[in-house]
Structure 1
Amino acid sequence: MDSSSSSSFRHSSSACTTAMDNSESLASSRRPSQNRQRRKRPATMRRTSPPSQDRLVIVFITASAIFALVSFTPFLLGHVPTHDENNQHLEGLINTAENRWERLVKELNKDVVQHDSNDNSIIVQSNTDKSLPLARGVAGLPMSQTPALIGAKHGSIQCDNDNYDDLAYWNDPQGDLDVDFVSPFASADTSETRYITFEPDRGGWNNIRMALETVLVFAAATGRTLVLPPNTPFYRLTDQSGKGAKHHGFADFLDLEHPALRNKVKMISMSEFLEREGGGKMFTLPPGQDGKMIKNAADHCFYIAKSNYSCERIYNFLRKEGFVPELQAGHDCLIFDKEHQAAKVEYNDQELLDLLPEEEQEQIKQFCKERKPKFYGSELETVPLIHFQGGEKTHRLLNHFYTFLYFVDDKIDHYYKRFVRDFMHYGDNIFCTAGKIVRALEEDAAKAGGTSFSAMHVRRGDFQYKKVKITAEDWYENTKDIFTDPKEIIYIATDEKDHKFFEPLAKHYNLRFLNDFKEIANLDEIDPNLFGMIDTVIASRGRLFVGTWFSTFTGYINRMRGYNGMSGTTSYYSTPDRKYNTHKWVDPSSILIAREWPTSWVGIDGDVAVHSETDM
């Protein structure tokens, strides 16, 4: 990770109990469902799933018992060793313990050991009659330190035939603590509904997704009803060929209908909002044609000012009727501090910051860096309608939710990081299609004599960060020391339409692209605007991954890999100056959106913020 900066502020990380040089197979030890047909995998093939963390907890306990037994046996037998004997004895004990530890690790890695739930096991029975662990490799903590996992189960993916549950990195259901969690920032007065409306970011999909995560967490934390914007043509997601659609809503990509999510955040459509509140209860729509055109745009709209379905008509109206916070994620950071929330009525943001205990001031300053701290409270707490003007440059929410929203309580901070992990994932249709391709890649790898596949994200297209838009020859020169096995299959996630660009790479690597699996994955039956999301899931499962610096697409792949428990040492960037940035832990700093940061996935099932991956 960025070696140019290192900060000590409170962000979550972990002292993990597992090592992840290569992602060990979880699925190989799972019992196949009796009700699902599975494609048989060659015996030599290894899944690219993270290792089960609870196995090493067992190893630690067992090795500790062995060490204690060997250490105290001489005393129990009445022999107290001399100084020289003691040194020799200690050296022998260390060697014995290390040897036995290694043997136990090798033995336990062959099979996933199941325990009784009374043993603090983090293996649970899923509803598909197979054991799926909640452990997350280097991103996890021992069960004794993760109370949020009690009652949780590994998430599942509903596909027509094959079972791809091992691709799920989320919990469903969440643990008991999360299910019962009530935000301290939500108003106790529920007599009147308070709302949030927002304008989607105007950038590419991952910029749009990042802003949505922020708005969704804000809605969940404040107890407001979230009004979903009209379906609209998202930038670069307007391919209408085949099953393509010009207009999209967030529900086309994300599972926003999940009952547990709806219990946490009330959501309604823009049409329902205007119908419910636009008759004078909260506001009154303009009379005549102006009001009619606002209603026209409520279901779907265009970013064309003169259109009868103009997005600007409805957003201009909401800007006037709602409270527009003066927040820009790149310039500001929003602080949630329940203890001092009421003081926001009497003090401005700087005055309130100065009143805080010195330790908390320092934490906030470390989090915000050069950005201006702004505290939740006052109008943000009381006004009936907040409108985030995120489509405009001056109010853009282009940042990670966890680097813009700061919850001073670690437990609450980790709760919302789990909230995003467990609910803001792609829908089953995307994971089912990606699952077919992941399985096919694993089978191809086995046929080629390998054990797995790796992946690259080669960003081309309209990428504005020209420094990392490099040639195929440079891609090879910068990765040849990473991919040293000529048999290994390299999956390329890319927006480059002309695959002749990759011919210099194909001379050295065994390449695969999404279109190579057109028939296996029935891609003709899929909205082509989902292909980028499918690419993301596939690349996140690679043994190793090389991405493009400053790409939010690459960033999200790395976050998924983190959710899956893969170490940052298995990811790289394509340019020499950034190549090993994910190999060293640093807290978020500098240009925050240039990458994803492990504070969003490491140790978030625990209650206490930690600041390192022990095996990175």
Structure 2
Amino acid sequence: GDTWNMRIRSRRPQKPSRSVQRRFLSTRRSLLRCTTLRILLFVFGVATVGILVFLGYLLVRFPPNSESTSSTLNVRVSGGGRRLPKLPDSRPTGGVELADSNATRESRKGAESGQDFPDQKIFVYSELDCKGDAREIPAYHIEGKCAKCFDACAKKYSTGLEIQGNVKSMKVVGQDAVVSTWATCKGTWNYPEESGYINSILPEDGCVNQNVKWQPVHFKFHMKDDVSVLKQANERKKEKEYVENPIKDPKEVLKRISYFGEGGVAKQSTDKYITFLKDCGGFNNIRMGFEYAVLMAWVTGRTLVLPPPEGWYLIDFGPIKRGGAYKRGVTKFSEFFDMEHLRAGMPVITAKEFYEKEKGRLDLKEGFEGDVLSTESKTWKAYLFQKFGGQAWSPLKRVVMDPSIATYKASNNQKPAMTVGRTPVEFDEELKSKAVIHFPSCHGPNGDQGIYRFLGQISNSVLFADKHRETAFKSFWKNHIHYPKEVFTAAAHMIAKMGLFAYSALHVRRNDLQYKEVFQNAQATLRNVENLLFPGEVLYIATDETNSAFFDAIREKHKVFQWKDVVNEAKGIQYSEKVINIIEQTICAGGRRFFGTQKSTFTSYIFRMRGYMSVPDTKQYWHNIRYTGMPDVDKFAQPILGPNTYMQEDPSMWEDIVED
């Protein structure tokens, strides 16, 4: 028994001695003290980093008046500074600050050294003609995350006047200096690369007055380096062949510019119709309203009813007539569009044919028999709206979704940017059941014209759920919506005198244009475009300027042709004086490059024709924009299309077409 008890006692754990216990407790206290210290150090480090980040944000968001990580100089010159209304904040809603890219870091190194752009700078002034408060901005300035640039947002002249909203004039100095100006503070906030471009300025421009709605708030320096020179040389090399070996055979020219297909058998009329009225503006507004009606007929598969002939603004009446007074008369759509080709693509009838065919079935009002609908009839306009109502579908405020809103929104062909600010509409079952769907351009109830004018970019007036159907629409447009053949025939003879693609063309609007800020003198036009021209290159100028001496500054450097210089080339070809303007559009389309007038729909249609003709350069240029000859800078002047864009053209109208 004793032996057993001893074995049990021997298996029980022995209590440590006091010395061992003291050593264990001492070690545990040391570990606890070390862990606590580490936690405290970690918390302190995190707090410090957080404070530094917050302070950095405050410095970027609210920079002091003496901003800049490099030296800038504020100076005062003669003249007072009147405060302008402050423009909207150029910081984007929900914008985030830019992160440094590799390219930006490399640019920063060059900017910090000040060696990349020696002695290059831009001066901005609060008054016209480079007077008033002034700010000198050197090329090596660093703005937030952007090297070689400057943001005017939240900055002031030395007098305390805010720079933003008070840049009336500018001047660039320094060899090979090029400065692009922007309406958004791109050096601090995250904007798309091409967003907000205004213009470019070079030293040879001298003092440049600012006359656009949005004043610049961001200035970016560029340099004419070997790479940009090589890019321009390569572009010119491809086009030089046309100048050295011009196409001067009128038959060959006609073949090249006639981009549409052959005609065909006219489509038979249906028992459902699209009716419309002529727009109340000039020809190119009338053209857009006509195109919208054609598109509605194409989408619905209905017969298009042409309105009765009537007087067209600036064709049959109006304030301006080149070469004499207007002869009051009426105009038909068939005088401006090839109806044979249109009828080969869809059924088309006249208002008179429509009335005679459907007066019984549709119970149309009496009084329009005989030749009543062979000319303008205000009674007919009012009756159409009274009888059939009208679609208030201005493409600036509405967008048609095909085949329905639900189907489009479930498709893979959505274009969210094209729906912003526009209400979706559709041809629902109720509309489809109607015998007539009417588009009363400029003739809505109570004199309401805005929602009843159909001016817009035809490429996004309808959004298609099916990409193949969208492509079919664009192919139909190229082949069936174009000017009469005699317009192309006359233009071909006139183009042949200069040589197809062997000249560049300009449209210089000087009179009937709503946007007067785009007007400028001939010297400014030449300065803007000369970097994209060959030395001494032949130019064709389409213009409503009546003073022949106006373009003498351009004639000093280039051989200039105008209508009077080429009109005799088309002797023997029958065409109406009414179509002179669209013949000139066709001549401009046949140039190597074309420079239009901003905010002109006459210009915009030339861009589309050039796309259809596959000209050497289908980019869209304007003589109101300063071009540097540097492709990486000039690309920013290309249009950014939006839901309400209709004074520029959508390249997809020709780029999406799949040729047979």
For this structure pair, what is the TM-score category when the shorter chain's length is used for normalisation?
A: 0.5 to 0.7
1:250 to 311, 333, 337: 333
Indicate if the aligned counterparts of 1:25 and 1:46 stay in contact, CA closer than 8 A: no
Indicate if the aligned counterparts of 2:486 and 2:573 stay in contact, CA closer than 8 A: no
Within 2, Cα distance between the matches of 1:2 and 1:252?
44
- Aligned: 1:391 with 2:442: yes
Name stretches of at least 5 consecutive residues in structure 1 with no aligned partner.
7-18, 29-42, 50-158, 183-189, 302-310, 342-348, 444-450, 608-616
Deviation at 1:408, TM superposition (A): 1.5
- Aligned: 1:490 with 2:539: yes
Within 1, Cα distance between the matches of 2:464 and 2:564?
43
Within 1, Cα distance between the matches of 2:269 and 2:293?
23
- Aligned: 1:235 with 2:313: yes
Within 2, Cα distance between the matches of 1:215 and 1:493?
29
Equivalent residue number for residue 357 of structure 1:
410
Indicate if the aligned counterparts of 1:25 and 1:48 stay in contact, CA closer than 8 A: no
Q: Which amino acid in structure 2 is aligned with residue 385 of structure 1?
A: V
SS in 2 for 1:417: helix
Equivalent residue number for residue 300 of structure 1:
375
Deviation at 1:588, TM superposition (A): 2.5
1:330 to 396, 411, 419: 396
Deviation at 1:336, TM superposition (A): 0.5
Indicate if the aligned counterparts of 1:492 and 1:512 stay in contact, CA closer than 8 A: yes
Indicate if the aligned counterparts of 1:243 and 1:528 stay in contact, CA closer than 8 A: no
1:284 to 354, 364, 388: 364
Equivalent residue number for residue 560 of structure 2:
511
Cα 1:586–1:235, aligned 2, differ >3 Å: closer, same or farther?
closer
Deviation at 1:460, TM superposition (A): 1.6
Cα 1:191–1:564, aligned 2, differ >3 Å: closer, same or farther?
closer
Equivalent residue number for residue 133 of structure 1:
none
Q: Which amino acid in structure 2 is aligned with residue 210 of structure 1?
A: M
Equivalent residue number for residue 645 of structure 2:
592
Cα 1:408–1:357, aligned 2, differ >3 Å: closer, same or farther?
closer
Indicate if the aligned counterparts of 2:507 and 2:595 stay in contact, CA closer than 8 A: yes
After TM superposition, the structure 1 = structure 2 runs for residues 267-278 of structure 1, keeping only pairs within 5 Å, are: 267-278=348-359
SS in 2 for 1:519: helix
Within 2, Cα distance between the matches of 1:23 and 1:270?
50
Cα 1:212–1:583, aligned 2, differ >3 Å: closer, same or farther?
farther
1:4 to 180, 184, 195: 195
Deviation at 1:4, TM superposition (A): 2.4
Deviations 1:244-269 (A, max 9, x none): 783211111211123xx424311111
Q: Which amino acid in structure 2 is aligned with residue 425 of structure 1?
A: H
Cα 1:381–1:578, aligned 2, differ >3 Å: closer, same or farther?
farther
The structure with the greater share of residues assigned to strand is: 2
Within 2, Cα distance between the matches of 1:205 and 1:220?
22
- Aligned: 1:380 with 2:431: yes
Larger radius of gyration: 2
Within 2, Cα distance between the matches of 1:524 and 1:495?
24
Indicate if the aligned counterparts of 2:395 and 2:454 stay in contact, CA closer than 8 A: yes
2:256 to 166, 176, 185: 166
- Aligned: 1:501 with 2:567: no
Deviations 1:398-455 (A, max 9, x none): 0122121111211100111111111111111101110001100129xxxxxxx81111
Indicate if the aligned counterparts of 1:243 and 1:526 stay in contact, CA closer than 8 A: no
- Aligned: 1:602 with 2:655: yes
Indicate if the aligned counterparts of 1:468 and 1:574 stay in contact, CA closer than 8 A: no
Within 2, Cα distance between the matches of 1:422 and 1:452?
26
Cα 1:458–1:383, aligned 2, differ >3 Å: closer, same or farther?
same
Deviation at 1:570, TM superposition (A): 4.9
Deviation at 1:550, TM superposition (A): 1.1
Deviation at 1:489, TM superposition (A): 0.8
Cα 1:415–1:255, aligned 2, differ >3 Å: closer, same or farther?
same
Cα 1:462–1:241, aligned 2, differ >3 Å: closer, same or farther?
closer
Within 1, Cα distance between the matches of 2:618 and 2:551?
26
Cα 1:46–1:544, aligned 2, differ >3 Å: closer, same or farther?
same
Within 2, Cα distance between the matches of 1:582 and 1:554?
19
2:527 to 477, 492, 516: 477
Within 2, Cα distance between the matches of 1:540 and 1:2?
30
Within 1, Cα distance between the matches of 2:416 and 2:196?
15
Q: After TM superposition, which residue ranges in structure 1, 4 or more long, deviate above 3 angstroms?
A: 19-26, 239-245, 294-297, 355-360, 523-526, 566-571, 577-587
Within 2, Cα distance between the matches of 1:368 and 1:164?
39
Indicate if the aligned counterparts of 2:639 and 2:648 stay in contact, CA closer than 8 A: no
Cα 1:421–1:236, aligned 2, differ >3 Å: closer, same or farther?
same
Deviation at 1:482, TM superposition (A): 2.2
Indicate if the aligned counterparts of 2:282 and 2:313 stay in contact, CA closer than 8 A: yes
Report the more deviating stretch, 566-575 or 491-500.
566-575
- Aligned: 1:558 with 2:633: no
- Aligned: 1:215 with 2:293: yes
2:581 to 515, 521, 532: 532
Deviations 1:526-545 (A, max 9, x none): 42211111111111111111
- Aligned: 1:262 with 2:343: yes
After TM superposition, the structure 1 = structure 2 runs for residues 84-99 of structure 1, keeping only pairs within 5 Å, are: none
Indicate if the aligned counterparts of 2:527 and 2:626 stay in contact, CA closer than 8 A: no
Percent identity over paired residues: 27
Equivalent residue number for residue 440 of structure 1:
497
Within 1, Cα distance between the matches of 2:235 and 2:375?
46
Deviation at 1:297, TM superposition (A): 4.2
Equivalent residue number for residue 509 of structure 2:
459
Deviation at 1:387, TM superposition (A): 1.0
Within 2, Cα distance between the matches of 1:191 and 1:237?
31
After TM superposition, the structure 1 = structure 2 runs for residues 46-65 of structure 1, keeping only pairs within 5 Å, are: 46-47=246-247
SS in 1 for 2:374: coil
Indicate if the aligned counterparts of 1:197 and 1:386 stay in contact, CA closer than 8 A: yes
Cα 1:570–1:410, aligned 2, differ >3 Å: closer, same or farther?
closer
Q: Which amino acid in structure 2 is aligned with residue 167 of structure 1?
A: I
Cα 1:384–1:20, aligned 2, differ >3 Å: closer, same or farther?
farther
Indicate if the aligned counterparts of 1:48 and 1:452 stay in contact, CA closer than 8 A: no
Indicate if the aligned counterparts of 1:414 and 1:606 stay in contact, CA closer than 8 A: no
Equivalent residue number for residue 570 of structure 2:
521
Within 2, Cα distance between the matches of 1:403 and 1:22?
36
Equivalent residue number for residue 126 of structure 2:
none
Equivalent residue number for residue 55 of structure 2:
none
Deviations 1:65-97 (A, max 9, x none): xxxxxxxxxxxxxxxxxxxxxxxxxxxxxxxxx
Higher relative contact order (CA 8 A, sep 6+): 1
Within 1, Cα distance between the matches of 2:472 and 2:270?
26
Deviation at 1:509, TM superposition (A): 2.2
Within 1, Cα distance between the matches of 2:567 and 2:411?
59
Deviation at 1:47, TM superposition (A): 3.4
Deviation at 1:388, TM superposition (A): 0.4
Q: Which amino acid in structure 1 is aligned with residue 334 of structure 2?
A: A
Equivalent residue number for residue 446 of structure 1:
none
Within 2, Cα distance between the matches of 1:547 and 1:191?
40
Deviations 1:357-378 (A, max 9, x none): 3866xx2532222111112222
SS in 2 for 1:594: coil
Deviations 1:85-130 (A, max 9, x none): xxxxxxxxxxxxxxxxxxxxxxxxxxxxxxxxxxxxxxxxxxxxxx
What TM-score do the two structures reach when normalised by structure 1?
0.61
Deviation at 1:22, TM superposition (A): 6.8
Indicate if the aligned counterparts of 2:351 and 2:373 stay in contact, CA closer than 8 A: yes
SS in 2 for 1:164: helix
